[in-house]
Structure 1
Amino acid sequence: MDFNGSDPLPGPRTEDQLPHTAQAAAKIVIVGGFGVGKTTMVGSVSEIRPLTTEETMTQAGIGIDDNYGSETKTATTVAMDFGRISITEQLVLYLFGTPGQQRFWFLWNGLFEGALGAVVLVDTRRLEVSFDVMGRLEERGVPFVVAVNSFPDAPRYPIAELRQALDLAENIPMVDCDVRRRASSRDVLLTLVRFLHSLALTGSPS
């Protein structure tokens, strides 16, 4: 799922330095299984032209990569996606999208280094993939929120049912989203920022 169909930004993407008002920056990772929309999310929300490391999918991945629900996908991230968004005039988020195939998960350790928090993208057609993803974040102590990406042909469930199916703690935010829409992706990031702020105020672990 690429970002060619994403909402356009209101104006040209900037390619230069940070806004002069920026006072703080944070590294955020976007994680999830294969084809859940990580590249699309980074591309739709980034205020700079996103860096992607997508390669054309080949026959070599058949039987190795689980592409259920993404049979029409023709390219896949093999290292990372990178983008940037100014949440406020003072706060800038650097976004790092991780590769989804399990054979590339060894790259996650480096991408997690220095990350303030994470967004776990979920596809309701393949919830089982999310357990390993969330487990890796918990092992490293990276706080995260869960965003359920809306695919046209994916079944819809109430958030409460999905939370129970994922055995997700009540304090961890879980939201619906459509990562093709910039406003929706930005709302997910704002949910993460608010969650991180609440953890900082209470001194609670994730």
Structure 2
Amino acid sequence: MDFNGSDTITGPRSEDALPDTVSAAVKIVVVGGFGVGKTTMVGAVSEIRPLTTEETMTQAGVGVDDNYGSETKTATTVAMDFGRISITDEIVLYLFGTPGQERFWFLWNGLFEGALGGVVLVDTRRLEVSFDVIGRLEERGVPFVVAVNAFPEAPNHPLDELRGALDLPEYVPIVNCDARQRDSSRDVLMTLMRYLHATAPVS
């Protein structure tokens, strides 16, 4: 599930400048296994042209990367994806999509630094890869929501069953989404923001 409009860019453009009304910026990580739709989500929802670090997949990854369900995928993120979306006139989210292959997971620690929250994208054909992803967020103490990406050929399970399969606590939100759709991806981010607001310490 690739986002064809996510052209790589080399620097900021004047139209990408933050509005003067912005008073707070929040870092959000979008994580998940290989080919679950992270680049697609960042590209679909970003109000600026997203920065991507996609490279053509080569024979070097054969037998190393698990591309089940993404056999037609020809490019992959090797560092990060970056996008931005305004939630209100005052608040913007900076989105950092992580690389999905396990051999690039060492980059995650740096991407997690300063993150207020995360979105875990899940493919129901490969639920097992989500356990390590969720575990890493829990180890870092990064609050997160789970978004089940809608692949046409993927099995459709009730969210309660998926919560049990992923061993998610009741307080962690889990929602369905279509990472290709801006509105759907934005709804996921709004679910995360509501969750962060509800769990924030009262000062």
TM-score range, shorter chain: over 0.9
1:191 aligns to 2:191 (yes or no): yes
| Aligned position for 1:21 | 21
Corresponding residue SS for 2:31: strand
Shift of 1:19: 1.2
For residues 101-116 of structure 1, the aligned pairs below 5 Å read: 101-116=101-116
Shift of 1:25: 0.5
Corresponding residue SS for 1:89: coil
Cα distance change, pair 148–5 in 1 and its aligned pair in 2 (3 A): farther
Q: State how far apart, in whole Å, the 1-side matches of 2:89 and 2:2 are.
A: 29
For residues 123-142 of structure 1, the aligned pairs below 5 Å read: 123-142=123-142
Corresponding residue SS for 1:27: strand
Cα distance change, pair 14–39 in 1 and its aligned pair in 2 (3 A): farther
Shift of 1:15: 3.5
Corresponding residue SS for 1:83: strand
For residues 174-185 of structure 1, the aligned pairs below 5 Å read: 174-185=174-185
Shift of 1:16: 2.7
Q: State how far apart, in whole Å, the 2-side matches of 1:187 and 1:161 are.
A: 22
Shift of 1:21: 1.1
| Aligned position for 1:55 | 55
Q: State how far apart, in whole Å, the 1-side matches of 2:4 and 2:31 are.
A: 20
Q: Give the 4+ runs in structure 1 shifted more than 3 A.
A: none
Q: State how far apart, in whole Å, the 1-side matches of 2:168 and 2:78 are.
A: 28
Alignment RMSD (CA, Å): 1.5
Letter matched to residue 21 of structure 2: T
Shift of 1:201: 4.8
1:66-104 CA-partner distances (Å, limit 9, x unpaired): 000000000000000000000111110000000000000
Q: State how far apart, in whole Å, the 2-side matches of 1:173 and 1:187 are.
A: 12
Q: Mark the runs of 5 or more structure 1 residues left unpaired by the alignment.
A: 7-12
Aligned-pair identity (%)? 80
Q: State how far apart, in whole Å, the 2-side matches of 1:101 and 1:133 are.
A: 11
Cα distance change, pair 112–51 in 1 and its aligned pair in 2 (3 A): same
Q: State how far apart, in whole Å, the 2-side matches of 1:145 and 1:52 are.
A: 23
1:86 aligns to 2:94 (yes or no): no
1:154-173 CA-partner distances (Å, limit 9, x unpaired): 00000000000001000000
Aligned length: 197
| Aligned position for 2:10 | none
1:32-73 CA-partner distances (Å, limit 9, x unpaired): 000000000000000000000000000110100000000000
1:132-163 CA-partner distances (Å, limit 9, x unpaired): 00000000000000000000000000000000
Q: TM-score, normalised by structure 1?
A: 0.93
Q: State how far apart, in whole Å, the 1-side matches of 2:166 and 2:143 are.
A: 16
Q: TM-score, normalised by structure 2?
A: 0.94
Q: State how far apart, in whole Å, the 1-side matches of 2:136 and 2:36 are.
A: 17
| Aligned position for 1:2 | 2
Letter matched to residue 73 of structure 1: K
Q: Mark the runs of 5 or more structure 2 residues left unpaired by the alignment.
A: 7-12
